[in-house]
Amino acid sequence: MKKELIKVVEIPDEVEIKREDDILIVKGPLGENKKKIGIGKLIFEIGEKEIKIGHKKATKKEKKRINTIVAHIKNMIKGVKEKHEYKLKICSSHFPINVNVENGKVVIKNFLGEKNDREAEIPEGVEVEIKGQEIIVSSTNKELAGQAAANLERATKIRGKDRRIFQDGIYITHKGGKEI
């Protein structure tokens, strides 16, 4: 059944939002986020204190698109106000693991006693901080912070050994303030 559907997103005082074609730019105290958003035939109005996104005769397809765009905008606003943060833990039971940040990469040395170093790519705009056995990944862009954390986990994936015995690696423990 087609019906009118309009969602409203509040814009905080310290955040500025503008649109250039299909690119949405959100500026705040911690930086800026840019994202290409396919608006299509949706109503998209940026006011002083709110953004209206909707459709006059919305079906399920338009409702999904509206809700996705609203979620992206809320994540972008949250990112420029307070950074998205992931916490990872370095676990080693067999060999001590050395982790360093070098030239946009995280280098993992002595993983399971291997002679070759393992590397994890860190996307541009992501900050990585190592405190003892904890790694903190933060960024204004939620997708980039999540990708950096996933790259760290994937770099220490164990193949060809029993995972119940070889539990060494880097694992996500906190994601967006929630413990996993």
Contact 126, 139 (CB under 8 A): yes
Secondary structure class of 166 (helix, strand, coil) = coil
pLDDT confidence of 2, banded at 50, 70, 90? confident
Q: What local confidence, expressed as pLDDT, does residue 151 receive?
A: 95
Q: Give me the amino acid identity at 86.
A: Y
Nearest to 174 by CA among 131, 133, 136, 125: 136
Give yes or no: residues 91 and 173 share one domain: yes
Each residue of 11-22: pLDDT tens digit? 999 999 999 888
Give 80: exposed, middle or buried? Use CB within 10 Å, 0-12, 13-18, 19+. buried
Q: What local confidence, expressed as pLDDT, does residue 93 receive?
A: 84
Mean pLDDT of 97-124: 91
Domain range for 61: 3-81
Give yes or no: residues 95 and 72 share one domain: no
Each residue of 122-168: pLDDT tens digit? 999 999 999 999 999 999 999 999 999 999 999 998 888 887 888 88
Give yes or no: residues 27 and 51 share one domain: yes
Nearest to 86 by CA among 151, 157, 154, 172: 172
